[in-house]
Amino acid sequence: MRIRQYKPLLLLFAAMLFFVVPMTASAKKIRVLIVGGGTSHDFDRWYKQADAATLERDGLCSVVYTSNTDSISFYLKSADVLYLVTNQPINAASRKAIFDFVDAGKGLVLGHPGLWYNWKDWPEYNRQLVSGGAEAHDKYGSFDEDIVNPNHPITKGVEQHFNLKDERYHYVVDPLGPGIEVLASNHVAGSDVVYPSVFIVKNPKTRIVCIALGHDDASHNIIPYQTLLRNAVKWVAHKS
């Protein structure tokens, strides 16, 4: 009799578990907004598909991708991390939303196309969020990568030296920016010129990681790149 009496309550409790447990598991995922689209890169293939799959693997992240830069403020409301890789025009409302996101302490990862000087009328972006930028790169080809700080969470599990094909960005630090901490750099045989490939921007409000690699499959499909990207997202989200 007692079991029958409490059966409705047991069924209600079971139903609550059915809905709450998946929601709790989902809530543990890092919510990432990828903003892509623009010129000179296959954004859908390498960011919407490849990088999104890399981040969603093993349940690390839940990813939303958009190439509509006017929608940035809408999607950021429910994001933990912004992964910005676009070189499209960005309107005033979306620019403000990005800086509000940063000022609120949310994580920011800036990928290959986003490290260029894309917006001449928006110097605050490069100065404060990139602490510099690139206006040139080597011809697409092979170069060597060196992890210069193997003890940082972002470089954890990454080969200390590896080779890849990519556009070697000529990133230059802006002396008026907050400065950077280099985690990985690159060089080519026969040259003493070294450029940073993966670095932290010392923004006082939040964690920002820049990844200069990422032109095509020769970056996106290799384990070192994928590990760096996943580690970077975890670190800016305060999960490592």
| Structural domain count, the chain | 1
Predicted confidence (pLDDT) at residue 11 exceeds the cutoff of 50: no
Which residue is it, tokens 């994928």? 226
What pLDDT digit, counting tens, does each position of 22-41 carry? 434 455 899 999 999 999 99
Give Cβ neighbours of residue 158 (< 8 Å, ≥ 6 apart). Answer: 147, 150, 184, 224, 227, 228, 231
Rounded to the nearest angstrom, the gap between the alpha carbon of residue 61 and the centroid of all alpha carbons in its chain is 12
- pLDDT band of residue 113 (cuts 50, 70, 90) is very high
Q: What are phi and psi of 193, to 5 degrees?
A: -80, 125
- Asked if 153 and 209 touch (Cβ cutoff 8 Å), the reply is no
Residues in a beta bridge with 202? none
Task: Give the CATH number, domain containing residue 35.
Answer: 3.40.50.880
What tokens does 179 get? 């400065």
What pLDDT digit, counting tens, does each position of 136-147 carry? 999 999 999 999
Q: Is 31 exposed, middle or buried (0-12, 13-18, 19+ CB in 10 A)?
A: middle
- Asked if 195 and 169 touch (Cβ cutoff 8 Å), the reply is yes
Provide the domain limits for residue 89.
Answer: 2-236
Predicted confidence (pLDDT) at residue 20 exceeds the cutoff of 80: no
